[in-house]
Structure 1
Amino acid sequence: MADSARVAAIELGGTKCIAAIARGRDILSRERWPTRPPAETLPTILDWIAEAAAGEPLAAIGIGGFGPLVVDPADSNYGKIGSTPKPHWSGFDLRGAVAARFAVPIGFDTDVAGAALAEGRWGAARGCGTHVYVTIGTGVGAGIVVDGKPLHGASHPEVGHIRVRRDPADTFAGACPFHGDCLEGLVSGPAIAKRAGKPAEQLAPDDPLWDRVADEIAELVMTIMLTVPPQRIVIGGGVGSNERLLPRIRSTATARLAGYGPGSDAAAIERLIVSPGLGDDAGPLGAVALALAAAE
Protein backbone atom coordinates (compact mmCIF):
# COMPACT_ATOMS: atom_id res chain seq x y z
CA MET A 1 0.00 0.00 0.00
CA ALA A 2 2.80 2.41 0.84
CA ASP A 3 4.22 2.09 -2.68
CA SER A 4 1.07 3.79 -3.98
CA ALA A 5 0.72 6.31 -1.15
CA ARG A 6 0.66 10.01 -1.97
CA VAL A 7 3.34 11.76 0.05
CA ALA A 8 5.27 15.00 0.25
CA ALA A 9 9.05 15.18 0.42
CA ILE A 10 11.46 17.88 1.57
CA GLU A 11 15.17 17.70 0.79
CA LEU A 12 16.93 20.45 2.71
CA GLY A 13 20.46 20.85 1.40
CA GLY A 14 23.26 23.22 2.23
CA THR A 15 22.75 25.33 -0.91
CA LYS A 16 19.35 24.28 -2.26
CA CYS A 17 16.02 22.89 -1.09
CA ILE A 18 13.70 20.65 -3.08
CA ALA A 19 10.08 19.85 -2.27
CA ALA A 20 8.09 17.23 -4.12
CA ILE A 21 4.74 15.49 -4.24
CA ALA A 22 5.02 11.80 -5.10
CA ARG A 23 2.88 8.73 -5.45
CA GLY A 24 5.07 5.89 -4.37
CA ARG A 25 8.43 6.49 -6.04
CA ASP A 26 6.90 8.50 -8.88
CA ILE A 27 7.46 12.22 -8.41
CA LEU A 28 4.36 14.06 -9.61
CA SER A 29 5.59 17.63 -9.09
CA ARG A 30 8.57 19.37 -7.55
CA GLU A 31 10.01 22.81 -6.87
CA ARG A 32 13.46 24.09 -5.94
CA TRP A 33 14.71 27.09 -3.95
CA PRO A 34 18.07 28.33 -2.63
CA THR A 35 18.65 27.57 1.06
CA ARG A 36 18.15 30.80 2.97
CA PRO A 37 17.58 31.35 6.72
CA PRO A 38 14.76 29.16 8.09
CA ALA A 39 12.31 32.03 8.54
CA GLU A 40 12.46 32.57 4.78
CA THR A 41 12.93 28.99 3.61
CA LEU A 42 10.42 26.86 5.52
CA PRO A 43 7.24 28.94 5.04
CA THR A 44 7.87 29.03 1.29
CA ILE A 45 8.32 25.26 1.13
CA LEU A 46 5.30 24.50 3.30
CA ASP A 47 3.06 26.88 1.36
CA TRP A 48 4.09 25.15 -1.86
CA ILE A 49 3.33 21.71 -0.41
CA ALA A 50 -0.08 22.84 0.83
CA GLU A 51 -0.98 24.16 -2.60
CA ALA A 52 0.52 21.28 -4.58
CA ALA A 53 -1.13 18.66 -2.36
CA ALA A 54 -4.58 20.25 -2.33
CA GLY A 55 -7.45 17.96 -3.29
CA GLU A 56 -6.13 14.66 -1.90
CA PRO A 57 -4.82 13.92 1.61
CA LEU A 58 -1.13 13.20 2.12
CA ALA A 59 -0.23 9.87 3.72
CA ALA A 60 3.03 11.26 5.17
CA ILE A 61 5.82 13.79 4.74
CA GLY A 62 9.50 12.90 4.54
CA ILE A 63 12.22 15.33 5.59
CA GLY A 64 15.84 14.74 4.62
CA GLY A 65 17.97 17.52 6.07
CA PHE A 66 21.61 18.52 6.19
CA GLY A 67 23.27 17.55 9.44
CA PRO A 68 23.96 17.43 12.16
CA LEU A 69 20.41 16.53 13.19
CA VAL A 70 18.97 15.21 16.44
CA VAL A 71 17.43 11.95 15.19
CA ASP A 72 16.75 10.15 18.49
CA PRO A 73 12.99 10.40 19.23
CA ALA A 74 13.76 10.04 22.96
CA ASP A 75 15.92 13.19 22.94
CA SER A 76 14.24 16.39 24.09
CA ASN A 77 15.78 18.12 21.06
CA TYR A 78 14.50 15.55 18.58
CA GLY A 79 13.90 17.09 15.17
CA LYS A 80 16.28 19.99 15.61
CA ILE A 81 19.42 20.91 13.70
CA GLY A 82 22.62 20.78 15.74
CA SER A 83 25.68 23.01 15.56
CA THR A 84 26.20 23.91 11.92
CA PRO A 85 28.27 26.56 10.15
CA LYS A 86 25.17 27.48 8.14
CA PRO A 87 24.00 30.83 9.56
CA HIS A 88 20.69 30.88 11.48
CA TRP A 89 20.09 27.11 11.28
CA SER A 90 21.75 25.88 14.50
CA GLY A 91 19.06 24.80 16.94
CA PHE A 92 16.22 25.24 14.45
CA ASP A 93 13.31 22.84 15.04
CA LEU A 94 13.01 21.51 11.51
CA ARG A 95 10.66 18.61 12.19
CA GLY A 96 8.56 20.71 14.56
CA ALA A 97 8.03 23.42 11.96
CA VAL A 98 6.62 20.86 9.53
CA ALA A 99 4.54 19.04 12.16
CA ALA A 100 2.96 22.33 13.23
CA ARG A 101 1.59 22.78 9.72
CA PHE A 102 0.66 19.22 8.66
CA ALA A 103 -0.97 16.62 10.92
CA VAL A 104 0.45 13.55 9.16
CA PRO A 105 3.20 11.02 9.97
CA ILE A 106 6.63 12.51 9.40
CA GLY A 107 9.77 10.64 8.39
CA PHE A 108 12.81 12.55 9.60
CA ASP A 109 16.48 11.86 9.00
CA THR A 110 19.57 13.22 7.29
CA ASP A 111 19.44 13.79 3.56
CA VAL A 112 22.15 11.14 3.07
CA ALA A 113 20.26 8.56 5.14
CA GLY A 114 17.23 9.19 2.95
CA ALA A 115 19.30 8.86 -0.22
CA ALA A 116 20.75 5.61 1.11
CA LEU A 117 17.23 4.25 1.69
CA ALA A 118 16.20 5.28 -1.82
CA GLU A 119 19.24 3.66 -3.43
CA GLY A 120 18.49 0.49 -1.48
CA ARG A 121 14.81 0.54 -2.38
CA TRP A 122 15.04 1.51 -6.05
CA GLY A 123 18.64 2.18 -7.08
CA ALA A 124 22.20 0.91 -7.11
CA ALA A 125 22.01 -0.85 -3.72
CA ARG A 126 18.89 -2.95 -4.36
CA GLY A 127 19.19 -6.38 -2.79
CA CYS A 128 21.87 -5.26 -0.32
CA GLY A 129 21.08 -5.65 3.38
CA THR A 130 23.95 -3.39 4.42
CA HIS A 131 24.93 -0.49 2.20
CA VAL A 132 26.22 3.07 2.33
CA TYR A 133 25.46 6.23 0.40
CA VAL A 134 28.22 8.86 0.47
CA THR A 135 27.53 12.37 -0.77
CA ILE A 136 30.36 14.78 -1.54
CA GLY A 137 29.21 18.27 -2.40
CA THR A 138 28.78 21.36 -0.24
CA GLY A 139 29.60 19.00 2.63
CA VAL A 140 30.52 15.34 3.03
CA GLY A 141 28.19 12.84 4.66
CA ALA A 142 27.12 9.22 4.61
CA GLY A 143 23.94 7.30 5.25
CA ILE A 144 24.55 3.76 6.49
CA VAL A 145 21.67 1.32 6.10
CA VAL A 146 21.60 -1.97 8.02
CA ASP A 147 18.70 -4.39 7.53
CA GLY A 148 16.69 -1.73 5.74
CA LYS A 149 17.04 0.97 8.42
CA PRO A 150 19.45 3.91 8.75
CA LEU A 151 22.12 3.33 11.36
CA HIS A 152 21.60 5.51 14.46
CA GLY A 153 23.10 5.43 17.92
CA ALA A 154 23.85 8.42 20.06
CA SER A 155 23.51 10.30 16.77
CA HIS A 156 23.83 9.62 13.06
CA PRO A 157 27.12 8.93 11.24
CA GLU A 158 29.31 11.98 10.55
CA VAL A 159 32.00 10.47 8.34
CA GLY A 160 32.77 13.80 6.71
CA HIS A 161 34.60 14.86 9.85
CA ILE A 162 37.01 11.97 10.21
CA ARG A 163 40.68 12.61 9.44
CA VAL A 164 42.43 10.74 6.66
CA ARG A 165 46.03 10.12 5.63
CA ARG A 166 47.27 12.88 3.36
CA ASP A 167 50.08 13.45 0.91
CA PRO A 168 52.95 14.68 3.15
CA ALA A 169 53.69 17.40 0.59
CA ASP A 170 50.19 18.87 0.93
CA THR A 171 50.24 21.79 3.37
CA PHE A 172 46.62 22.93 2.86
CA ALA A 173 45.21 23.72 6.31
CA GLY A 174 41.69 22.62 5.45
CA ALA A 175 38.40 24.45 5.16
CA CYS A 176 36.25 22.95 7.93
CA PRO A 177 35.47 25.62 10.56
CA PHE A 178 35.39 22.93 13.26
CA HIS A 179 38.27 20.57 12.37
CA GLY A 180 40.35 22.18 9.63
CA ASP A 181 41.65 19.30 7.51
CA CYS A 182 39.03 16.64 8.20
CA LEU A 183 37.70 14.96 5.05
CA GLU A 184 35.00 17.60 4.53
CA GLY A 185 37.67 20.27 4.96
CA LEU A 186 39.64 18.69 2.13
CA VAL A 187 37.26 17.35 -0.53
CA SER A 188 33.95 19.22 -0.27
CA GLY A 189 33.12 21.72 -3.00
CA PRO A 190 34.06 24.75 -0.86
CA ALA A 191 37.29 23.04 0.25
CA ILE A 192 38.32 22.26 -3.34
CA ALA A 193 37.58 25.87 -4.32
CA LYS A 194 39.77 27.08 -1.46
CA ARG A 195 42.59 24.70 -2.41
CA ALA A 196 42.45 25.55 -6.09
CA GLY A 197 41.59 29.22 -5.88
CA LYS A 198 38.56 28.69 -8.12
CA PRO A 199 35.31 26.68 -8.10
CA ALA A 200 35.65 22.92 -8.49
CA GLU A 201 33.62 22.96 -11.70
CA GLN A 202 36.29 25.19 -13.28
CA LEU A 203 39.12 22.74 -12.62
CA ALA A 204 40.44 21.00 -15.73
CA PRO A 205 39.65 17.28 -15.87
CA ASP A 206 43.37 16.48 -15.72
CA ASP A 207 44.17 18.86 -12.85
CA PRO A 208 46.35 16.89 -10.39
CA LEU A 209 44.20 18.10 -7.49
CA TRP A 210 41.53 15.59 -8.59
CA ASP A 211 43.98 12.74 -7.92
CA ARG A 212 44.69 14.06 -4.45
CA VAL A 213 40.95 14.41 -3.73
CA ALA A 214 40.29 10.88 -5.01
CA ASP A 215 43.03 9.46 -2.80
CA GLU A 216 41.54 11.17 0.25
CA ILE A 217 38.07 9.85 -0.57
CA ALA A 218 39.60 6.38 -0.97
CA GLU A 219 40.76 6.63 2.64
CA LEU A 220 37.13 7.09 3.66
CA VAL A 221 36.06 4.15 1.50
CA MET A 222 38.66 1.93 3.19
CA THR A 223 37.46 3.00 6.62
CA ILE A 224 33.86 2.16 5.71
CA MET A 225 34.87 -1.21 4.22
CA LEU A 226 36.82 -2.18 7.33
CA THR A 227 34.23 -1.05 9.88
CA VAL A 228 30.70 -1.47 8.53
CA PRO A 229 31.38 -3.53 6.18
CA PRO A 230 28.86 -2.88 3.39
CA GLN A 231 27.77 -4.83 0.35
CA ARG A 232 27.64 -1.62 -1.70
CA ILE A 233 29.06 1.90 -1.40
CA VAL A 234 27.29 4.46 -3.58
CA ILE A 235 29.14 7.75 -4.11
CA GLY A 236 27.18 10.79 -5.28
CA GLY A 237 26.88 14.54 -4.81
CA GLY A 238 28.13 17.40 -6.94
CA VAL A 239 31.79 16.52 -6.40
CA GLY A 240 31.29 12.78 -5.95
CA SER A 241 29.61 12.45 -9.34
CA ASN A 242 32.77 13.67 -11.12
CA GLU A 243 33.50 10.78 -13.49
CA ARG A 244 37.27 11.22 -13.08
CA LEU A 245 37.14 10.31 -9.39
CA LEU A 246 35.55 6.86 -9.26
CA PRO A 247 38.27 4.87 -11.11
CA ARG A 248 41.00 6.53 -9.02
CA ILE A 249 39.07 5.90 -5.76
CA ARG A 250 38.74 2.22 -6.66
CA SER A 251 42.38 1.78 -7.66
CA THR A 252 43.70 3.61 -4.59
CA ALA A 253 41.46 1.65 -2.22
CA THR A 254 42.56 -1.61 -3.85
CA ALA A 255 46.24 -0.73 -3.57
CA ARG A 256 46.05 0.42 0.04
CA LEU A 257 44.00 -2.56 1.23
CA ALA A 258 46.86 -4.67 -0.19
CA GLY A 259 44.74 -7.81 -0.48
CA TYR A 260 43.66 -7.80 3.16
CA GLY A 261 40.32 -9.49 3.73
CA PRO A 262 37.64 -10.84 1.40
CA GLY A 263 36.39 -8.45 -1.25
CA SER A 264 39.62 -6.46 -1.41
CA ASP A 265 40.60 -7.43 -4.95
CA ALA A 266 40.11 -5.01 -7.87
CA ALA A 267 37.12 -6.85 -9.38
CA ALA A 268 35.25 -6.95 -6.06
CA ILE A 269 35.94 -3.29 -5.33
CA GLU A 270 34.67 -2.31 -8.77
CA ARG A 271 31.36 -3.99 -7.89
CA LEU A 272 31.38 -2.50 -4.39
CA ILE A 273 32.00 1.19 -5.18
CA VAL A 274 29.48 2.55 -7.66
CA SER A 275 27.68 5.67 -8.86
CA PRO A 276 24.06 6.34 -7.80
CA GLY A 277 21.45 4.38 -9.68
CA LEU A 278 18.98 7.23 -9.14
CA GLY A 279 21.29 9.99 -10.40
CA ASP A 280 20.30 13.50 -9.34
CA ASP A 281 17.00 12.14 -7.98
CA ALA A 282 18.71 10.28 -5.11
CA GLY A 283 18.15 13.30 -2.82
CA PRO A 284 14.45 14.02 -3.42
CA LEU A 285 13.66 10.30 -3.68
CA GLY A 286 15.46 9.91 -0.36
CA ALA A 287 12.92 12.21 1.26
CA VAL A 288 10.18 10.24 -0.52
CA ALA A 289 11.60 7.01 0.92
CA LEU A 290 11.51 8.55 4.41
CA ALA A 291 7.88 9.54 3.85
CA LEU A 292 6.93 6.05 2.65
CA ALA A 293 8.66 4.49 5.66
CA ALA A 294 6.62 6.78 7.93
CA ALA A 295 3.44 5.88 6.07
CA GLU A 296 4.22 2.20 6.51
Structure 2
Amino acid sequence: MLASIEAGGTKFVCAVGDHQFNIIDRTSFPTTCPEETMAKIIGFFDACEDIQAMGIGSFGPIGINHQAPNYGYITSTPKTKWRNYNFLGEMKKHYQCPIGWTTDVNAACLGEYHLGSATDKNSCLYLTVGTGVGGGAIFNGRFLEGFGHAEMGHILLRNHSKDPFQGSCPYHGNCLEGLASGPAIEKRCGVKAEELDKNHPIWEMIGYYLAQALVNYTLILRPEKIVLGGGVMSQSKVLEFVKKEFSLMLADYVEIPAVDEYIVLPSLGNNAGITGGLILAHQLI
Protein backbone atom coordinates (compact mmCIF):
# COMPACT_ATOMS: atom_id res chain seq x y z
CA MET A 1 0.00 0.00 0.00
CA LEU A 2 1.16 3.55 -0.77
CA ALA A 3 0.67 6.57 1.50
CA SER A 4 0.37 10.23 0.57
CA ILE A 5 0.26 13.53 2.43
CA GLU A 6 -0.78 16.81 0.83
CA ALA A 7 0.23 19.39 3.41
CA GLY A 8 -1.45 22.66 2.55
CA GLY A 9 -1.47 25.99 4.29
CA THR A 10 -5.20 25.67 4.97
CA LYS A 11 -5.71 21.92 5.31
CA PHE A 12 -3.90 18.60 5.30
CA VAL A 13 -5.07 15.64 3.23
CA CYS A 14 -3.82 12.13 4.03
CA ALA A 15 -4.56 9.10 1.88
CA VAL A 16 -3.56 5.54 1.13
CA GLY A 17 -3.82 3.94 -2.28
CA ASP A 18 -2.76 1.02 -4.43
CA HIS A 19 0.00 0.83 -7.02
CA GLN A 20 -2.42 1.88 -9.75
CA PHE A 21 -2.88 5.12 -7.74
CA ASN A 22 -6.47 4.44 -6.80
CA ILE A 23 -7.29 6.16 -3.50
CA ILE A 24 -8.51 3.55 -1.00
CA ASP A 25 -9.00 5.74 2.06
CA ARG A 26 -8.45 9.42 2.85
CA THR A 27 -9.03 12.06 5.49
CA SER A 28 -8.58 15.81 5.75
CA PHE A 29 -8.41 18.33 8.57
CA PRO A 30 -7.48 22.00 9.06
CA THR A 31 -3.83 23.02 9.31
CA THR A 32 -3.38 24.11 12.92
CA CYS A 33 -0.23 23.80 15.06
CA PRO A 34 2.32 21.03 14.37
CA GLU A 35 1.55 19.07 17.55
CA GLU A 36 -2.18 18.84 16.86
CA THR A 37 -1.82 18.28 13.12
CA MET A 38 0.89 15.63 13.41
CA ALA A 39 -1.18 13.69 15.94
CA LYS A 40 -4.00 13.44 13.38
CA ILE A 41 -1.61 12.39 10.61
CA ILE A 42 -0.05 9.64 12.70
CA GLY A 43 -3.43 8.49 13.98
CA PHE A 44 -4.66 8.03 10.40
CA PHE A 45 -1.62 6.13 9.10
CA ASP A 46 -1.23 3.99 12.22
CA ALA A 47 -4.65 2.54 11.41
CA CYS A 48 -3.49 1.55 7.91
CA GLU A 49 -1.71 -1.73 7.28
CA ASP A 50 1.35 -2.53 5.16
CA ILE A 51 2.49 0.94 4.09
CA GLN A 52 5.41 0.29 1.72
CA ALA A 53 6.31 3.89 0.88
CA MET A 54 5.06 7.41 1.48
CA GLY A 55 5.09 10.62 -0.54
CA ILE A 56 4.78 14.07 1.07
CA GLY A 57 4.03 17.29 -0.75
CA SER A 58 4.26 20.20 1.68
CA PHE A 59 3.57 23.91 1.74
CA GLY A 60 6.77 25.85 2.05
CA PRO A 61 9.32 27.09 1.59
CA ILE A 62 10.90 23.74 2.44
CA GLY A 63 14.43 22.37 2.56
CA ILE A 64 15.04 20.04 -0.40
CA ASN A 65 18.85 19.88 -0.54
CA HIS A 66 19.78 16.44 0.79
CA GLN A 67 23.15 17.74 1.97
CA ALA A 68 21.79 20.75 3.88
CA PRO A 69 20.97 20.63 7.61
CA ASN A 70 17.43 21.86 6.93
CA TYR A 71 16.54 19.04 4.51
CA GLY A 72 13.00 17.91 5.32
CA TYR A 73 12.13 21.11 7.18
CA ILE A 74 9.40 23.64 6.53
CA THR A 75 11.53 26.79 6.68
CA SER A 76 10.57 30.47 6.31
CA THR A 77 6.82 30.03 6.02
CA PRO A 78 4.49 32.89 7.01
CA LYS A 79 2.74 30.28 9.21
CA THR A 80 4.86 31.04 12.25
CA LYS A 81 4.00 27.89 14.22
CA TRP A 82 5.44 25.78 11.39
CA ARG A 83 8.57 27.85 10.82
CA ASN A 84 11.77 25.75 10.92
CA TYR A 85 9.78 22.59 11.64
CA ASN A 86 11.37 19.21 10.88
CA PHE A 87 8.35 17.64 9.18
CA LEU A 88 10.19 14.81 7.43
CA GLY A 89 12.23 14.01 10.53
CA GLU A 90 9.08 13.70 12.62
CA MET A 91 7.52 11.31 10.09
CA LYS A 92 10.69 9.19 10.02
CA LYS A 93 10.44 8.72 13.78
CA HIS A 94 7.15 6.88 13.26
CA TYR A 95 7.53 5.12 9.89
CA GLN A 96 10.50 3.11 8.64
CA CYS A 97 9.38 2.96 5.00
CA PRO A 98 10.95 5.13 2.24
CA ILE A 99 9.49 8.66 2.33
CA GLY A 100 9.57 11.05 -0.64
CA TRP A 101 9.67 14.77 0.13
CA THR A 102 8.78 17.68 -2.14
CA THR A 103 6.58 20.77 -2.32
CA ASP A 104 2.79 20.57 -2.50
CA VAL A 105 2.79 22.12 -5.97
CA ASN A 106 5.49 19.73 -7.20
CA ALA A 107 3.30 16.86 -6.04
CA ALA A 108 0.29 18.28 -7.90
CA CYS A 109 2.45 18.79 -10.98
CA LEU A 110 3.59 15.16 -10.74
CA GLY A 111 -0.02 14.00 -10.61
CA GLU A 112 -1.01 16.01 -13.69
CA TYR A 113 2.16 15.02 -15.55
CA HIS A 114 1.56 11.29 -15.14
CA LEU A 115 -2.22 10.96 -14.94
CA GLY A 116 -3.81 14.33 -15.73
CA SER A 117 -3.69 17.19 -18.19
CA ALA A 118 -0.06 16.73 -19.25
CA THR A 119 0.20 12.96 -19.71
CA ASP A 120 1.33 13.30 -23.33
CA LYS A 121 3.94 16.00 -22.63
CA ASN A 122 7.62 16.03 -21.67
CA SER A 123 7.24 19.22 -19.63
CA CYS A 124 4.55 20.75 -17.47
CA LEU A 125 4.20 23.72 -15.14
CA TYR A 126 1.60 23.64 -12.38
CA LEU A 127 0.52 26.81 -10.59
CA THR A 128 -1.86 26.77 -7.64
CA VAL A 129 -3.76 29.95 -6.76
CA GLY A 130 -5.45 29.82 -3.39
CA THR A 131 -4.47 30.70 0.17
CA GLY A 132 -1.01 31.17 -1.32
CA VAL A 133 0.37 31.03 -4.84
CA GLY A 134 3.01 28.45 -5.71
CA GLY A 135 4.35 26.72 -8.77
CA GLY A 136 6.19 23.57 -9.67
CA ALA A 137 7.55 22.27 -12.96
CA ILE A 138 8.67 18.96 -14.43
CA PHE A 139 10.96 18.62 -17.44
CA ASN A 140 11.70 15.16 -18.86
CA GLY A 141 10.38 13.48 -15.75
CA ARG A 142 12.39 15.52 -13.23
CA PHE A 143 11.35 18.37 -10.95
CA LEU A 144 12.83 21.75 -11.75
CA GLU A 145 15.08 22.28 -8.73
CA GLY A 146 18.55 23.63 -8.02
CA PHE A 147 19.88 25.26 -4.87
CA GLY A 148 16.27 25.09 -3.71
CA HIS A 149 12.80 24.65 -5.17
CA ALA A 150 11.03 27.24 -7.31
CA GLU A 151 9.05 30.01 -5.59
CA MET A 152 6.92 31.05 -8.53
CA GLY A 153 4.32 32.81 -6.40
CA HIS A 154 6.74 35.51 -5.36
CA ILE A 155 7.80 37.01 -8.68
CA LEU A 156 7.31 40.77 -8.74
CA LEU A 157 4.63 42.23 -11.00
CA ARG A 158 3.44 45.61 -12.21
CA ASN A 159 0.09 46.74 -10.83
CA HIS A 160 -3.04 46.91 -12.96
CA SER A 161 -3.77 50.53 -13.92
CA LYS A 162 -7.00 50.43 -11.87
CA ASP A 163 -5.54 48.64 -8.85
CA PRO A 164 -3.92 50.79 -6.14
CA PHE A 165 -3.57 47.78 -3.82
CA GLN A 166 0.00 47.40 -2.60
CA GLY A 167 -0.23 43.68 -1.94
CA SER A 168 -0.67 41.37 1.04
CA CYS A 169 2.63 39.46 1.02
CA PRO A 170 4.56 40.20 4.24
CA TYR A 171 7.84 39.69 2.38
CA HIS A 172 7.35 41.41 -0.98
CA GLY A 173 4.05 43.31 -1.02
CA ASN A 174 2.96 43.29 -4.65
CA CYS A 175 4.34 39.94 -5.78
CA LEU A 176 2.02 37.48 -7.51
CA GLU A 177 0.87 35.97 -4.22
CA GLY A 178 0.45 39.40 -2.69
CA LEU A 179 -1.81 40.51 -5.54
CA ALA A 180 -3.70 37.40 -6.69
CA SER A 181 -4.07 34.99 -3.74
CA GLY A 182 -7.31 34.39 -1.84
CA PRO A 183 -6.19 36.54 1.12
CA ALA A 184 -5.22 39.37 -1.26
CA ILE A 185 -8.70 39.28 -2.78
CA GLU A 186 -10.32 39.26 0.65
CA LYS A 187 -8.17 42.17 1.84
CA ARG A 188 -9.26 44.25 -1.14
CA CYS A 189 -12.94 43.32 -1.18
CA GLY A 190 -13.72 42.74 2.50
CA VAL A 191 -15.17 39.26 1.89
CA LYS A 192 -13.70 35.87 1.05
CA ALA A 193 -13.04 35.17 -2.62
CA GLU A 194 -15.56 32.32 -2.75
CA GLU A 195 -18.33 34.71 -1.68
CA LEU A 196 -17.81 37.13 -4.59
CA ASP A 197 -20.07 37.11 -7.64
CA LYS A 198 -18.55 35.70 -10.82
CA ASN A 199 -19.08 39.09 -12.48
CA HIS A 200 -17.16 41.05 -9.84
CA PRO A 201 -14.46 43.24 -11.50
CA ILE A 202 -11.74 41.76 -9.27
CA TRP A 203 -11.66 38.60 -11.41
CA GLU A 204 -10.46 40.49 -14.48
CA MET A 205 -7.62 41.96 -12.37
CA ILE A 206 -6.68 38.50 -11.10
CA GLY A 207 -6.60 37.29 -14.71
CA TYR A 208 -4.28 40.19 -15.56
CA TYR A 209 -1.84 39.31 -12.78
CA LEU A 210 -1.83 35.60 -13.52
CA ALA A 211 -1.32 36.30 -17.23
CA GLN A 212 1.72 38.45 -16.42
CA ALA A 213 3.20 35.58 -14.45
CA LEU A 214 2.47 33.00 -17.14
CA VAL A 215 4.12 35.16 -19.80
CA ASN A 216 7.25 35.30 -17.63
CA TYR A 217 7.23 31.54 -17.02
CA THR A 218 6.64 30.91 -20.73
CA LEU A 219 9.53 33.08 -21.84
CA ILE A 220 11.97 31.64 -19.29
CA LEU A 221 10.97 27.96 -19.12
CA ARG A 222 9.01 27.25 -22.35
CA PRO A 223 6.87 24.42 -20.87
CA GLU A 224 4.59 22.41 -23.14
CA LYS A 225 1.60 22.76 -20.79
CA ILE A 226 0.56 25.10 -17.98
CA VAL A 227 -2.00 23.81 -15.46
CA LEU A 228 -3.77 26.25 -13.13
CA GLY A 229 -5.27 24.85 -9.92
CA GLY A 230 -6.35 26.11 -6.51
CA GLY A 231 -9.49 27.66 -5.07
CA VAL A 232 -9.27 30.97 -6.93
CA MET A 233 -9.34 29.10 -10.24
CA SER A 234 -12.71 27.61 -9.32
CA GLN A 235 -14.23 30.96 -10.33
CA SER A 236 -15.37 30.15 -13.86
CA LYS A 237 -14.38 33.46 -15.49
CA VAL A 238 -10.79 33.62 -14.22
CA LEU A 239 -9.38 31.17 -16.79
CA GLU A 240 -11.10 33.12 -19.58
CA PHE A 241 -9.50 36.38 -18.40
CA VAL A 242 -6.10 34.73 -17.98
CA LYS A 243 -6.06 33.42 -21.54
CA LYS A 244 -7.27 36.73 -23.00
CA GLU A 245 -4.65 38.81 -21.16
CA PHE A 246 -1.91 36.25 -21.76
CA SER A 247 -2.44 36.38 -25.53
CA LEU A 248 -2.34 40.19 -25.50
CA MET A 249 0.83 40.34 -23.38
CA LEU A 250 2.74 37.62 -25.22
CA ALA A 251 1.84 39.33 -28.52
CA ASP A 252 2.87 36.30 -30.60
CA TYR A 253 6.51 36.89 -29.68
CA VAL A 254 7.24 33.18 -29.30
CA GLU A 255 5.42 30.16 -30.62
CA ILE A 256 3.20 28.26 -28.19
CA PRO A 257 0.44 25.68 -28.63
CA ALA A 258 -3.09 27.02 -29.09
CA VAL A 259 -3.84 28.93 -25.89
CA ASP A 260 -6.90 26.78 -25.06
CA GLU A 261 -4.63 23.72 -25.07
CA TYR A 262 -1.67 25.43 -23.45
CA ILE A 263 -3.31 26.94 -20.33
CA VAL A 264 -5.74 24.49 -18.73
CA LEU A 265 -7.34 23.43 -15.46
CA PRO A 266 -6.20 20.22 -13.69
CA SER A 267 -7.83 17.05 -15.02
CA LEU A 268 -7.43 15.47 -11.59
CA GLY A 269 -9.18 18.41 -9.89
CA ASN A 270 -8.61 18.47 -6.14
CA ASN A 271 -6.91 15.05 -6.30
CA ALA A 272 -3.83 16.28 -8.20
CA GLY A 273 -1.66 16.74 -5.10
CA ILE A 274 -2.68 13.61 -3.22
CA THR A 275 -2.31 11.51 -6.40
CA GLY A 276 1.11 13.03 -6.96
CA GLY A 277 2.08 11.93 -3.46
CA LEU A 278 1.11 8.35 -4.30
CA ILE A 279 3.18 8.52 -7.48
CA LEU A 280 6.13 9.91 -5.54
CA ALA A 281 5.85 7.02 -3.08
CA HIS A 282 5.63 4.47 -5.92
CA GLN A 283 8.79 5.88 -7.52
CA LEU A 284 10.74 5.09 -4.36
CA ILE A 285 10.11 1.37 -4.70
> TM-score when scaled to structure 2?
0.97
Give me the whole-angstrom Cα distance separating, in 2, the residues matched to 1:215 and 1:71. Answer: 32
SS at match of 1:168: coil
- Per the TM alignment, residue 181 of structure 1 is displaced from its structure 2 partner at its CA by 1.1
Aligned length: 284
- Per the TM alignment, residue 169 of structure 1 is displaced from its structure 2 partner at its CA by 3.2
Instruction: Tell me what 2:108 maps to.
Output: 115
For 1:261, the aligned partner's letter is V
Instruction: Tell me what 1:91 maps to.
Output: 84
1:212 aligns with 2:205: yes
SS at match of 1:107: strand
For 1:132, the aligned partner's letter is L
Query: Which of 66, 74, 77 is residue 59 of structure 2 equivalent to?
Result: 66
For 1:72, the aligned partner's letter is N
- Determine if contact 1:37/1:87 at 8 Å carries over to the other structure: no
Instruction: Tell me what 2:136 maps to.
Output: 143
Give me the whole-angstrom Cα distance separating, in 1, the residues matched to 2:186 and 2:276. Answer: 28
1:17 aligns with 2:24: no
Give me the whole-angstrom Cα distance separating, in 2, the residues matched to 1:180 and 1:108. Answer: 29
For 1:269, the aligned partner's letter is V
Q: What is the RMSD computed on CA atoms of the aligned residues?
A: 1.0
Unmatched 5+ residue regions in structure 2?
none
- Per the TM alignment, residue 241 of structure 1 is displaced from its structure 2 partner at its CA by 2.8
Give me the whole-angstrom Cα distance separating, in 1, the residues matched to 2:54 and 2:253. Answer: 44
- Per the TM alignment, residue 168 of structure 1 is displaced from its structure 2 partner at its CA by 2.9
Runs of 4+ in structure 1 deviating by more than 4 angstroms, as ranges, are none
1:49 aligns with 2:39: no
Give me the whole-angstrom Cα distance separating, in 2, the residues matched to 1:157 and 1:188. Answer: 17
SS at match of 1:230: coil
Kindly report which structure 2 residues correspond to 1:162-241, keeping only aligned pairs within 5 A, or say none: 162-241=155-234
Query: Which of 8, 30, 33 is residue 29 of structure 2 equivalent to?
Result: 33
Task: List per-residue Cα deviations over 1:228-268 (Å, max 9, x = no partner).
Answer: 110000000001232211111111111111111112xxx71
- Determine if contact 2:109/2:273 at 8 Å carries over to the other structure: no
1:77 aligns with 2:67: no
Task: List per-residue Cα deviations over 1:147-189 (Å, max 9, x = no partner).
Answer: 1111110110101111112223321121111111111011111
Range with bigger deviation, 156-165 or 166-175: 166-175
Instruction: Tell me what 1:157 maps to.
Output: 150
For 1:290, the aligned partner's letter is L
For 1:268, the aligned partner's letter is A
- Per the TM alignment, residue 63 of structure 1 is displaced from its structure 2 partner at its CA by 0.6
SS at match of 1:100: helix
Give me the whole-angstrom Cα distance separating, in 2, the residues matched to 1:148 and 1:17. Answer: 26
- Determine if contact 1:119/1:126 at 8 Å carries over to the other structure: yes
For 1:32, the aligned partner's letter is S
Give me the whole-angstrom Cα distance separating, in 2, the residues matched to 1:157 and 1:7. Answer: 26
- Determine if contact 2:208/2:242 at 8 Å carries over to the other structure: yes
For 1:16, the aligned partner's letter is K
1:126 aligns with 2:119: yes
For 2:193, the aligned partner's letter is A
Instruction: Tell me what 1:260 maps to.
Output: 253
Give me the whole-angstrom Cα distance separating, in 1, the residues matched to 2:98 and 2:113. Answer: 22
